[in-house]
């Protein structure tokens, strides 16, 4: 092999004085880093993905993992990554796949936004003593109230379109059964039921064991139409048409055949072991009219009882696209930013296509507001939301609610190792290997995810209270409560916020 191999990424070592040879590392590593020979644990660091499973399972804290320092000649343009990608592609002639979100060092806009707090003249509100309202309704809202007045009495004429009622503005985004394991999905489903919110099923259909939580699910329809039939549509509390995804705008989904076990094949309604490919275009949507038609057919099929969402990736003209969607009878637009996670994406897409969610949400909210149709649809932000501050800022920029993805997986153990596409997830998340899947106990998993949602909900209440707000309606689109720190004027204009000190 003329090119040789690229250097290893991580170096694992075991403190032999500490090690008690319990062999848990050997059992836990699904990538085969550890093996036993003559009663000795041997290490193949090259296979390590830094998933941290061994470290967190070692009873003696005997394992040490280090990122290997670059041993190329240092060069500002030809980074180690750039060189290694060339080497790997020269060798294989293939597209480089990657898992999880954008791994480039782009500035994080969220971290350059600061929130407001009350001082003297405007008392902050203590959420422990005063009611704090985070309840959020997702769906169409009328532009104005219609009523009839008969001698002083006001009789309501307006009938609300179906809305989802959320106890917190945090939902869990779409991760399909197939991309993630059943136990992972079950954990998420139990968690959203506990916390009064919703999760997306992803495009993989709905497995029977999710049925008890179906009132908390949003069923997704991607171009592949996997698992879609009338029962599926009727089970969801809402329906989502996936047009694009933040991690890979402009391309479709691909679940490799190895992950299509019998259960996945049943749920998706595809043959066992076959690749599940949902191409980028829906072959019945080539224009906004087509999309509008699909939205209406889905509503018609479900008796106009369910909100229909449309999910798009954040791209340059996202605001105009969202405005079109808002006029299509859709009840919510989901905008997925370019830091969104994924099971597998071509690395070149994941790292280079799309725009950050902060700018996308602000632009969409602004455009819809300008056109006087902001109330017609709800706006859901997703893609790279890491904590309660990101959520609060997203809402202040105009979102009604957010979808979290990666964060909910981290709550299940994920260490963002980025190897989901290999199907060997040692945490039992992005895998269909039963012995790995069994590592998640849905009861405990759901507890952790619910804890996360509850903790963030508390933090959002505190942030709102500090800003003197006791209802989330007053946070939504409230740019006054945000300032930009070290952002350029162009971006401040897009975000429609002022600079710190202003």
Q: Cβ 434 to ligand SF4, closest distance in Å?
A: 16
H or E segment and range at residue 410: helix 406-410
Q: Which is nearer to other proteins, 125 or 218 (CB)?
A: 125
> Tokens representing 281?
């275009």
Kind of pairing between the strands at 147-150 and 153-156? antiparallel
Query: Contacting other proteins (CB under 8 A), which of 45, 88, 163, 209?
Result: 163
The reply to whether 409 sits near ligand SF4 by the rule CB under 6 A is yes
Q: Cβ 218 to other proteins, closest distance in Å?
A: 19
Query: Contacting other proteins (CB under 8 A), which of 154, 272, 320, 348?
Result: 154
The reply to whether 172 sits near ligand SF4 by the rule CB under 6 A is no
> Tokens representing 86?
């060339």
Q: How many residues bind other proteins (CB under 8 A)?
A: 44
Query: Contacting other proteins (CB under 8 A), which of 48, 100, 125, 412?
Result: 125
The reply to whether 467 sits near other proteins by the rule CB under 8 A is yes
CA distance 133 to 212: 28
Site string for ligand SF4, 46-75 (x = CB under 6 A): -----x------xxx-xx------------
The reply to whether 481 sits near other proteins by the rule CB under 8 A is yes
Q: Which residues pair with 115 in a beta bridge?
A: 482
Q: Which stretch binds ligand SF4 (CB under 6 A): 123-131, 389-397, 415-423, 458-466?
A: 415-423
Contact predicate 367/501, CB 8 Å:
no
The reply to whether 474 sits near other proteins by the rule CB under 8 A is yes
CA distance 405 to 174: 7
CA distance 77 to 91: 21
The reply to whether 501 sits near other proteins by the rule CB under 8 A is no
Query: Contacting ligand SF4 (CB under 6 A), which of 416, 458, 466, 491?
Result: 416
Q: Which does 430 bind (CB under 5 to 8 A by kind): ligand SF4, other proteins, none?
A: ligand SF4
Q: Which stretch binds other proteins (CB under 8 A): 3-11, 75-83, 298-306, 473-481?
A: 473-481
Contact predicate 457/171, CB 8 Å:
no
Q: What share of the chain is helix, strand, coil (3-state, %, to 5)?
A: 35, 20, 45
Q: Which does 22 bind (CB under 5 to 8 A by kind): other proteins, ligand SF4, none?
A: ligand SF4
The reply to whether 425 sits near ligand SF4 by the rule CB under 6 A is yes
Burial class of residue 298 in the structure, from the number of CB atoms within 10 Å of its CB (0-12 exposed, 13-18 middle, 19+ buried): buried
Angle between helix axes 442-466 and 182-195 (nearest 10 degrees) is 40
Q: Cβ 476 to other proteins, closest distance in Å?
A: 6
Residue with tokens 């020979």: 37
Phi first, then psi: what are they for 345, rounded to 5°? -150, 150
H or E segment and range at residue 221: strand 217-221
User: Among 258, 273, 313, which residue's Cα sits nearest to residue 430?
Assistant: 258
Phi first, then psi: what are they for 327, rounded to 5°? -90, 5
Count CA within 13 A, CB hemisphere, residue 332.
33
Q: Which is nearer to ligand SF4, 421 or 456 (CB)?
A: 421
CA distance 281 to 169: 30
E strands, 350-400, are 378-382
Q: Which is nearer to ligand SF4, 41 or 373 (CB)?
A: 41
Site for other proteins in 190-229 (CB under 8 A): none
> What residues have CB less than 8 Å from 305, skipping those under 6 apart?
162
Q: Which is nearer to other proteins, 124 or 448 (CB)?
A: 124
The reply to whether 197 sits near ligand SF4 by the rule CB under 6 A is no
The reply to whether 89 sits near other proteins by the rule CB under 8 A is no
> What residues have CB less than 8 Å from 191, skipping those under 6 apart?
172, 199, 408, 445, 446, 447, 448, 449, 450, 453
The reply to whether 427 sits near ligand SF4 by the rule CB under 6 A is yes
Residues making contact with ligand SF4 (CB under 6 A): 14, 19-25, 41, 51, 58-60, 62-63, 99-100, 409, 414-420, 425, 427, 429-430
Residues making contact with other proteins (CB under 8 A): 118, 120-123, 125, 130-131, 133, 135, 137, 141-145, 147, 149, 154, 156, 158, 160, 163, 369-372, 374-375, 396, 467-471, 473-481
């Amino acid at each position: 092999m003329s090119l040789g191999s690229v250097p290893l990424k991580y170096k694992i070592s075991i403190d032999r004085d500490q090690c008690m040879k319990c062999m848990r590392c050997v059992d836990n590593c699904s990538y085969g880093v550890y093996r036993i020979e003559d009663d000795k644990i041997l290490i193949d660091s090259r296979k390590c993905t830094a998933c941290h499973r061994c470290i967190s399972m070692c009873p003696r804290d005997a394992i040490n993992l280090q990122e290997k320092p670059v041993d190329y000649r240092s060069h500002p343009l030809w980074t180690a990554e750039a060189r290694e990608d060339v080497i790997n592609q020269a060798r294989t002639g293939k597209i480089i796949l990657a898992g999880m979100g954008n791994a480039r060092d782009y500035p994080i806009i969220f971290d350059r936004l600061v929130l407001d707090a009350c001082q003297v003249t405007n008392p902050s509100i203590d959420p422990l003593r005063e009611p704090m309202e985070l309840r959020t309704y997702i769906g169409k809202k009328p532009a104005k109230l219609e009523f009839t007045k008969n001698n002083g009495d006001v009789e309501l004429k307006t009938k609300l379109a179906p809305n989802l009622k959320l106890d917190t503005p945090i939902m869990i985004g779409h991760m399909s059964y197939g991309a993630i394991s059943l136990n992972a999905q079950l954990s998420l489903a139990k968690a959203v039921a506990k916390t009064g919110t919703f999760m997306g099923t992803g495009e993989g259909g709905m497995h029977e064991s999710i049925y008890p939580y179906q009132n908390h699910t949003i069923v997704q329809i991607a171009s592949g139409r996997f698992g879609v039939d009338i029962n599926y549509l009727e089970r969801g509390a809402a329906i989502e048409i996936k047009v694009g995804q933040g991690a890979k705008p402009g391309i479709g989904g691909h679940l490799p055949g190895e992950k299509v076990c019998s259960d996945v094949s049943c749920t998706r309604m595809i043959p066992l072991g076959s690749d599940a490919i949902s191409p980028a275009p829906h072959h019945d949507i080539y224009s906004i009219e087509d999309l509008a038609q699909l939205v209406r057919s889905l509503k018609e099929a479900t008796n106009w009882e369910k909100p229909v969402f449309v999910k798009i990736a954040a791209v340059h003209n996202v605001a105009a696209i969202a405005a079109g969607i808002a006029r299509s009878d859709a009840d919510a637009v989901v905008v997925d930013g370019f830091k969104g996670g994924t099971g597998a994406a071509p690395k070149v897409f994941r790292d280079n296509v799309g725009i950050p969610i902060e700018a996308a949400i602000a632009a969409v909210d602004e455009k819809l507001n300008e056109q006087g149709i902001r109330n017609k649809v709800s706006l859901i932000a997703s893609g790279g939301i890491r904590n309660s501050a990101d959520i609060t800022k997203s809402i202040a920029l105009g979102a009604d609610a957010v979808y979290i993805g990666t964060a909910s997986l981290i709550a299940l153990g994920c260490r963002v190792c980025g190897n989901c596409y290999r199907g060997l997830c040692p945490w039992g998340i992005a895998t269909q290997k039963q012995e790995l899947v069994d590592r998640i106990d849905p009861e405990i998993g759901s507890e952790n995810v619910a804890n996360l949602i509850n903790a963030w909900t508390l933090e959002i209440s505190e942030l709102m209270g500090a800003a003197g707000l006791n209802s989330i309606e007053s946070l939504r689109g409230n740019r006054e409560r945000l300032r930009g720190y070290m952002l350029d004027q162009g971006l401040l204009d897009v975000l429609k916020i002022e600079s710190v000190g202003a």
